[in-house]
Amino acid sequence: MTFSTNYSIINQSSVFLETGTFHGAGIKRALSEGFKKVISIEVYEPLWLENLDRFKNEIEDGRVSLIFGDSGYVIGDAVAEIDDPIVFWFDAHDQTMSNAGVGDVKCPIIKELANIMECRNISQRRLDTLMIDDMRLITRPNHWSVDIGQMYELIWRFNPDFALTRIEGIINHDILKCEYRFLQK
């Protein structure tokens, strides 16, 4: 997980939600960046259990919530009661290197976006920020079988006032950042 240095929305949001916990680097980084509440969803039970132990103090004090399940289905329930702007870090996908962590689909971004829109109205979503990691793989034909046109349609329905920017990740321009255009620096 990599955050952009021009993370302008961070001052407007205290809630960070990631899909795909893996070994917890995203949780650590979000806490170090000052998010008051970090929610992470993991589909692979051994990784979920590992992180329950790793973040037991943060879970006990309410700063971290770890959810076990397929993010395409459980993300809506995770955000339904949150009125504050949320920074979403979408990084759920199969782990082909370890043959672990596969939900219903190899990359649930379509289900995640649709599920969030069912649970958060447009006034709640207006100041949300979407960070979609691994764009090089999402856009690769037949890799994760993501319908790119449908993904972008959902992003524009999520918030028609979004500005979309490809930013640095571990690989150049590998993160799609979608944020309310009037908050951009």
Cβ atoms 2, 131 nearer than 8 A: no
Average pLDDT over residues 58-64: 98
Domains and CATH numbers, the chain: 8-183 (3.40.50.150)
Average pLDDT, the chain: 86
Average pLDDT over residues 45-61: 97
Cβ atoms 19, 112 nearer than 8 A: yes
Q: Cα dihedral angle (23, 118, 128, 36), rounded to 10 degrees? A: -50
Q: Are strands 86-90 and 129-132 parallel, antiparallel or unpaired?
A: parallel
Return the pLDDT at 8.
45
- pLDDT tens readout for residues 30-47: 999 999 999 999 999 999
Return the pLDDT at 5.
41
Find where tokens 């379509």 sit.
110
Count the Cβ atoms, other than its own, within 10 Å of residue 163: 13
Q: How far apart are CA 176 and CA 132, in angstroms?
A: 5
Q: How confident is the model at residue 86 (pLDDT cuts 50, 70, 90)?
A: very high
Cβ atoms 137, 56 nearer than 8 A: no
Return the pLDDT at 107.
79
Q: Are strands 37-42 and 64-68 parallel, antiparallel or unpaired?
A: parallel
pLDDT at 76 > cutoff 50: yes
Return the pLDDT at 4.
47
